[in-house]
Structure 1
Amino acid sequence: MEWNLRSCARHGHVTYAPDEPEYRARLEAGTPLGNAWRCLRCGAFVLGEPHGSGPADDAPVLLRGKALRSAFILRALAIERWARGLILILLAVAVWRLRSTQVSLQELFQRDLKSLEPFFRQIHFNVSDSSTIHSIEKVLHAKPSTLNLIAFGILFYGLLQVAEGIGLWSLKRWGEYVAVVGTTLFIPLEVYEVVDKTTWLKVVVLIVNIAAVLYLLLSKRLFGLRGGHRAYEESLHEVSLLEVEASSENAEESAARRA
């Protein structure tokens, strides 16, 4: 997929006239219909006046190439965080309701198990040996104060996931830090769950979270890695303007060889 063209098709081209002659000559072209300026995102020439002008250092910093793909990945992670956060918030509400209706749910649970005993015998399932049933029984017998702590803990984690999603979707640096810290804190718990009882879903979630942390740390240069925030901003500026200049030079060389 040509990410630059896709983004320009959705948001429009962005042109800029730098004051420096060496850049201006490569970003401007004369045509019978008037001057055309090279888009800083996709590199295509666009007729009309540039959207802005001034020193090259003041040129708009646009997401293009690798940076644009990175934005797509971050927003995909944001959607995953929102989905997880919604599930956790609903689970916290369920635990809170369980606290206030604990006795009636316990009675309903025992009645349903009794009615399902013939079915369990048919499939050779021993209810008394089920770890899932034991877990439900422990929750049903938990103290209200314990259920409160569980509900607040789940709610906090769910809200943290929502905050991560907002920061990642808006491409804010604080969102990247929150995502790294929040995800890293729960990786040991996910490792424990995989070791305790391995399932393909747990393994996939663990791999995705570890990959997301490493990707954010290295590609976004968080916590001073690979030069830190300053190096990251400089790399964005090079992609937004200098790469366009280089592509223009390569196009001229190719045209000269064809001639």
Structure 2
Amino acid sequence: MKIDWDRRTCARRGHVTYAPLEPELRERLHASTGLGEAWRCLRCGDFALGDPHGSGPADQAPLVPRGKVLRDIFILRFLAVERAVRGVFIVLVAVAVWKFSNSQDAVRRLFDDYLNVLRPVFRHFHYDLDHSPVVGTIQKTFGYKHSTLVLVAVLLLVYALIEIIEGVGLWRAKRWAEYLTVVATAIFLPLEIYELTEKISWLKIATLAINILAVLYILLGKRLFGLRGGHAAFEAERQSASLLEVETTAGVGALTP
């Protein structure tokens, strides 16, 4: 099923109409009906009753995202939500690490107490908690210095801040955010691949796949670092998707013998 991004967006946000001063172009975007004047929406192309939202020269009309550009915005906002959620989660982890660093001895005593209570229960089911990988990992963290844990918490907060900034920038479709996302994500890809060599999990595989696809999509689709014509080609593509640009070009073609 093909999604009509233009009409889908207009249904949620309303139409965007504009009355250009150029007579021939104005005529193609205007219609008179029994219910009053109607103007073509610059996004979906349908006629909407009522006065236009703006008026002026055609080259000063708002550049309304439509078609493929709208689809790209939807994908970027999906990535923005994913980055923001991840950033908030990392903040919570950083806070937990910081609190743990300040009460390390108390947490260790509490953990040992619970371990002594649970040890006979697990032994009944023939499971040795003293040789459990999970228990061993937790016990190792108790040996970390306070300064080391604080450093880990700070690094996690920096990473979370980068993720949240990426999310905000991608939601607003800022080009600098696309560059930041590609660079920051690509830097951590080797680490994610290394983690898979240590232990494979579906969550790690899914995260790696999403990040690789995100890098390739933004890098190629948004023509970053000069790829596929670079920023100039990207802006030309946006302009060519504009309904007003289409109508203007059609008018020029019709006048050309």
* In structure 1, C-alpha distance between the alignment counterparts of 2:71 and 2:125, rounded to whole Å: 50
Contact 1:15 1:39 in 2 (8 A): yes
Q: Tell me which residue corresponds to 1:107.
A: 109
Q: Tell me which residue corresponds to 1:50.
A: 52
1:5 aligned to which of 4, 7, 26: 7
The 3-state SS of whatever aligns with 2:242 is helix
* In structure 2, C-alpha distance between the alignment counterparts of 1:53 and 1:99, rounded to whole Å: 62
* In structure 1, C-alpha distance between the alignment counterparts of 2:86 and 2:76, rounded to whole Å: 15
Summarize deviations over 1:63-108 as a string: whole Å, max 9, x none: 1111112111111111111111111111111111111111111111
Contact 1:59 1:241 in 2 (8 A): no
CA-atom RMSD in angstroms: 2.2
Give unmatched runs, 5+ long, in structure 1.
250-259
Q: Tell me which residue corresponds to 1:205.
A: 207
* In structure 2, C-alpha distance between the alignment counterparts of 1:211 and 1:173, rounded to whole Å: 18
* In structure 2, C-alpha distance between the alignment counterparts of 1:54 and 1:155, rounded to whole Å: 48
* In structure 2, C-alpha distance between the alignment counterparts of 1:9 and 1:131, rounded to whole Å: 54
So what's the TM-score if we normalise by structure 1?
A: 0.87
Contact 2:58 2:244 in 1 (8 A): no
Letter in 1 for 2:187: L
Q: Tell me which residue corresponds to 1:214.
A: 216
Q: Tell me which residue corresponds to 1:188.
A: 190
Contact 1:28 1:37 in 2 (8 A): yes
Q: Tell me which residue corresponds to 2:254.
A: none
2:153 aligned to which of 141, 151, 156: 151
Residue 19 of structure 1, CA deviation: 4.1
Relative distance call for 1:155 and 1:32 in structure 2 (3 A) is same
1:141 aligned to which of 136, 140, 143: 143
* In structure 2, C-alpha distance between the alignment counterparts of 1:47 and 1:56, rounded to whole Å: 20
- The percentage of counterpart residues that share the same residue type is 54
1:118 aligned to which of 117, 120, 139: 120
User: Which moves more between the two structures, 236-245 or 144-153?
Assistant: 236-245
Letter in 1 for 2:162: L
Q: Where do 1:1-259 residues align within 5 Å?
A: 1-21=3-23, 23-241=25-243, 245=247
Relative distance call for 1:54 and 1:243 in structure 2 (3 A) is closer
Contact 2:45 2:243 in 1 (8 A): no
Letter in 1 for 2:119: E
User: Which moves more between the two structures, 13-22 or 103-112?
Assistant: 13-22
Residue 34 of structure 1, CA deviation: 4.0
* In structure 2, C-alpha distance between the alignment counterparts of 1:214 and 1:131, rounded to whole Å: 37
Number of aligned residues: 248
Contact 1:99 1:144 in 2 (8 A): yes
Residue 156 of structure 1, CA deviation: 0.9
Summarize deviations over 1:13-42 as a string: whole Å, max 9, x none: 111233445533432233344442210001
Letter in 2 for 1:120: F
So what's the TM-score if we normalise by structure 2?
A: 0.88
